[in-house]
Amino acid sequence: MTLTHLNPAGEAHMVDVSAKDATVREAVAEGFIAVAADALTAIRAGTAAKGDVLAVARVAGIMAAKRTAELIPLCHPLPLSGVTLDLTFEDAGIRAIATVRTTHTTGVEMEALTAVSVTLLTVYDMAKSMDRAMRIEGVRLLAKRGGRSGAWVALAAEPHPTEPGGPAGPAGAQPSAPARPADPA
């Protein structure tokens, strides 16, 4: 396997994507924050001490997507054409789903993952006075499309390649390339 973010001397560098075609790229990521029932009730009712938790978290996630290249050292700065954040209440917490779009030479997976992560961190910040035991979990890429590698969609409850039952087999095994299904569309 070739490591694309290392030069021949083994030093980190940003990959040159100038020869790649600009195509429509989209990535969808999700994450969940487990929240105590009382805090979840206050967030839903809009009575949290810091104000409208979901409104602030949504804006924070959008801002984070736009600034991903400033946070992740080897990410390319990208002109994003769209960022949406869907926040939904579940029985034990809040699920965030980010969809990020661009027309460019590289994908927006990191922007979608960053948007979800910062959204959930903002929920934590806004509600920590009510529940310091909140847990952020399950941040993952759900789908991507566009570019040379085409479309990819995560299977529901797909185990990580290093987990028992994952494509690599026994726990701790390191796959050379994860086995992922192609999007039939």
Catalytic residues: 125
Give bridge partners of residue 24 from the DSSP assignment.
Answer: 103
- Distance, CA of 171 to chain centre: 24
Question: Concatenated DSSP letters for 78-139?
Answer: ---SEEEEEEEEETTEEEEEEEEEEEESS--HHHHHHHHHHHHHHHHHHHTTT-TT-EEEEE
**Which residue in 140, 161, 148, 154 sits closest to 182, CA to CA?**
154
Tally of CA atoms within 13 A in the half-sphere of 164 that contains its CB = 0
User: Which residue in this structure is represented by tokens 């948007």?
Assistant: 115
Rounded to 5°, the CA angle 30-35-40 comes to: 105
- Residue 43 in contact with residue 54, Cβ under 8 Å? yes
CA–CA dist 66, 165 (Å, integer): 36
